[in-house]
Amino acid sequence: MSAKNADGEKPPLRILLCAPRGFCAGVVRAIDAVERALEKYGAPVYVRHEIVHNKYVVESLRRKGAVFVEDLDEVPNCDRPVIFSAHGVPKTVPQEAERRNLFAIDATCPLVTKVHREAMVHAKRGREILLIGHAGHPETIGTMGQLPAGAVTLIETAEDARKIKPRDPSQLAYVTQTTLSVDDTAETVSILRERFPSIVGPHKEDICYATTNRQDAVKRAAPQVDAMIVVGAPNSSNSLRLREVAQRSGCRTSALVQRAADIDWSTFANIESLGLTAGASAPEVLVDEIIDAFALNYRVSVENVSGPAEDIFFPLPRQLRDDAGE
Ligand code: SF4
């Protein structure tokens, strides 16, 4: 694309950079866990599932010696570390690792582990559990897998919430995936609360601070721009939600892109303003790459649309801390 005008000058483009954006504390911890394991134990380090949903991150860890597998079957019997991804795993996975005497390191985000614990407490108290989430997402599989098959029912849509027929409505609880749309989840929860007034759930929902803050920033920027770009992977739940939020907040053009090379310039020609954000697993270097790509075609000025500062930090998994015994 060349957006130059008749005088050969690039047209101006105001980029509104959403903040916070990009890496959350759970993603930082998971990536640090793989890097620290590589430093401490050398390569290879096995990682079950993409440590976070971002190709750039996965490829850079692969170059350093991480070997990504989808199942423990692909890990040979050895003393190499096997790291579980930030999304969490069903209970059968650590059980299988223990049975095979593998050196397992759990990089599940503590905010996902918190949801696992909530589900287990509900089950202990004899409650039927509804999980508001997306079928097939690793986090959903991990949360459902904390309890025996059939103990957790997945609620994907408001329609599911309207139709669900619990065994005993007085013994009902819900938990949620951490990366959902705040607005959709509020609707689903309100349907459940209206139908089952005694349903037990978290004080807020289980949607994490990072998901909420990134969606709020997009809500602020979207009405002010002609188009919005979300940097993130198509299998990243929180990135997909950011694009939906942009659309619903009045942004007529939006795209989820992994790299600058993915930008469809016919869509982003002749705009005067652009919102830019990144999902929780997308590194800042990719945001810079997008700005640089627009700067080739436009005279870019960048403004921040800032929300709350984030200072959440999760310590590394126990085995990887400096004070950990061998
Ligand atoms: S998006 Fe939220 S729950 Fe998921 S890894 Fe990041 S902080 Fe944890």
Taking only the tens of pLDDT, the chain with its 326 residues reads 655 666 679 999 999 999 999 999 999 999 999 999 999 999 999 999 999 999 999 999 999 999 999 999 999 999 999 999 999 999 999 999 999 999 999 999 999 999 999 999 999 999 999 999 999 999 999 999 999 999 999 999 999 999 999 999 999 999 999 999 999 999 999 999 999 999 999 987 799 999 999 999 999 999 999 999 999 999 999 999 999 999 999 898 999 999 999 999 999 999 999 999 999 999 999 999 999 999 999 999 999 998 889 999 999 999 999 877 65
The sign of the torsion formed by the CA atoms of 186, 191, 197, 198 equals: negative
**Contact 31 CB / ligand 1 (< 6 Å):** no
Residue 213: name the closest of 6, 2, 8, 22 by CA. Answer: 22
Q: Work out which ligand 1 atom sits closest to the CA atom of 112.
A: 3
Its pTM stands at 0.95
Using DSSP, state whether 173 is helix, strand or coil.
Answer: strand
**Contact 208 CB / ligand 1 (< 6 Å):** yes
**Contact 180 CB / ligand 1 (< 6 Å):** no
* 310 annotated active-site: no
Q: What is the distance between the alpha carbons of residues 78 and 82, in angstroms, rounded to a whole number?
A: 10
Under 8 Å between Cβ of 249 and 279: no
Ligand 1 atom 5: the closest Cα is on which residue?
A: 26
Residue indicated by tokens 């407490």 = 121
Phi-psi region of 101 (alpha: psi -120 to 50; beta: other; left: phi over 0): left
Q: Distance, CA 291 to ligand 1 centroid (Å)? A: 25
Q: How many residues does the chain have?
A: 326
Q: Reading across the β-sheet that carries 273-278, which strands appear in turn?
A: 253-257, 227-231, 273-278, 12-19, 299-306
Under 8 Å between Cβ of 83 and 45: yes
Q: Distance, CA 273 to ligand 1 centroid (Å)? A: 29
Under 8 Å between Cβ of 132 and 140: no
